[in-house]
């Protein structure tokens, strides 16, 4: 009886400690993220595939590249209104165009292109390129970034003002962090694959970016000229998907042979 009571008291104490710990900030969340990455708390999001890491033979690797075209009327989006924050207005010479739909000479920027089907269950090395999301002129730059699951995003503040970085994922953990102009970069790795994670700033409501976290390394974001390129791809049959958060999704079926380079252009429009 005494033992049972003691056991119950210990369990209650452990629960209380766990609760305090759960509310306790970064350490808890880091542990939680690590658990998710290992597949321990998966519930809906994509976790890293199991099995051996596939190192693609450069001698047979294929490439898919192309351009995102846009035809029709470009949606009219009002310029960014920064009047609530004179410090931000001062950083610009005048009107600040919205970056939600950017079309240059009929080419669409900021579209994610990725292999959406054909690589299921396959595991690849994590990309080593530096992916930076900067805050400059009270705008997120670039407007869209993509990283591989397990690859860090380097979030920097180039402004003389403070920002509050606030991603709003559905399958990963939501967090927000203030970053002063002199603060070091925030390196953050989303443990689960998830498309279209909006990022806002709690101080400047007009600031918006999107982060795509992809379970494999085969993705690209279209540049100012609408171009994209996905290299080092194992030969095979794939679905190539383009996603723009305002304009929707398009798909192209492709088959690439050993060492082949294939062109695949997308067309968006109104
Ligand atoms: Cu801000």
Question: Which one-letter DSSP state was computed for residue 84?
Answer: T
Q: How far does residue 211's CA lie from ligand 1's centre (Å)? A: 17
Residues 118 and 166 in one domain: yes
Span from the CA of 179 to the centroid of ligand 1 (angstroms): 9
Number of domains forming the structure of the chain: 2
Both 196 and 225 in one domain: the answer is yes
Examine the domain organization and report whether 195 and 68 are in the same domain: yes
Same domain (yes/no): 81, 198: yes
Dist. CA 209 → ligand 1 center (Å) = 11
Same domain, 126 and 31: no
Check whether residue 32 and residue 56 sit in a common domain.
Answer: no
Measured in Å, residue 142 CA sits from the centre of ligand 1 at: 14
Asked whether residue 227 falls in the same domain as residue 138, the answer is yes
Question: Does the pTM of the predicted model rise above 0.75?
Answer: yes
Q: Are residues 28 and 137 in the same domain?
A: no
pLDDT tens over the chain, length 270 residues: 444 554 454 444 444 433 333 333 454 455 556 555 554 443 334 455 678 999 999 999 999 999 999 999 999 999 999 999 998 999 998 889 999 999 999 999 999 999 999 999 999 999 999 999 999 999 999 999 999 999 999 999 999 999 999 999 999 999 999 999 989 999 999 999 999 999 999 999 999 999 999 999 999 999 999 999 999 999 999 999 999 999 999 999 999 999 999 999 999 997
User: Do residues 187 and 243 both lie within one domain?
Assistant: yes
Q: What is the Å distance from ligand 1's center to 168 Cα? A: 15
Task: Give the three-class secondary structure for 117.
Answer: strand
What is the residue range of 115's domain?
Answer: 50-269
CATH of the domain at 263: 2.60.40.420
Long-range contacts of 177-185, Cβ-Cβ distance < 8 Å, separation of 24 or more: 179/135, 179/155, 181/157, 183/157, 185/132, 185/154, 185/155, 185/156
- What is the DSSP track for 169-209? -SSS----EEE-TTSPPEEE--SSBEEEEEEEESS-TT-EE
């Amino acid at each position: 009886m005494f033992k049972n009571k003691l056991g119950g008291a210990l369990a209650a104490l452990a629960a209380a400690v766990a609760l305090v710990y759960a509310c306790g900030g970064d350490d808890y969340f880091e542990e939680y993220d690590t658990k998710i990455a290992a597949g321990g708390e998966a519930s809906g999001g994509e976790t890293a595939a199991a099995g051996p890491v596939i190192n693609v033979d450069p001698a047979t690797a294929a490439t898919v590249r192309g351009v995102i075209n846009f035809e029709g009327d470009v949606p009219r989006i009002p310029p960014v209104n920064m009047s609530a924050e004179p410090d931000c207005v001062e950083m610009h010479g005048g009107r600040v165009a919205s970056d939600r739909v950017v079309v240059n000479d009929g080419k669409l920027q900021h579209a994610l292109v990725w292999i959406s089907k054909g690589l299921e269950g396959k595991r690849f090395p994590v990309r080593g390129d530096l992916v930076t999301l900067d805050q400059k002129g009270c705008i997120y730059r670039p407007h869209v970034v993509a990283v591989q699951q397990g690859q860090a995003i380097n979030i920097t503040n180039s402004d003389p003002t403070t920002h509050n970085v606030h991603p709003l994922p559905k399958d990963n953990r939501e967090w927000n962090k203030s970053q002063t102009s002199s603060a070091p970069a925030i390196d953050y790795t989303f443990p689960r694959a998830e498309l279209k994670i909006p990022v806002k700033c709690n101080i400047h409501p007009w600031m918006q970016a999107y982060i795509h976290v992809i379970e494999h390394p085969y993705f690209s974001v279209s540049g100012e000229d609408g171009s994209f390129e996905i290299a080092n791809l194992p030969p095979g049959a794939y679905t190539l998907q383009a996603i723009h958060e305002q304009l929707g999704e398009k798909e192209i079926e492709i088959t690439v042979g050993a060492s082949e380079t294939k062109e695949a252009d997308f067309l968006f429009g109104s």
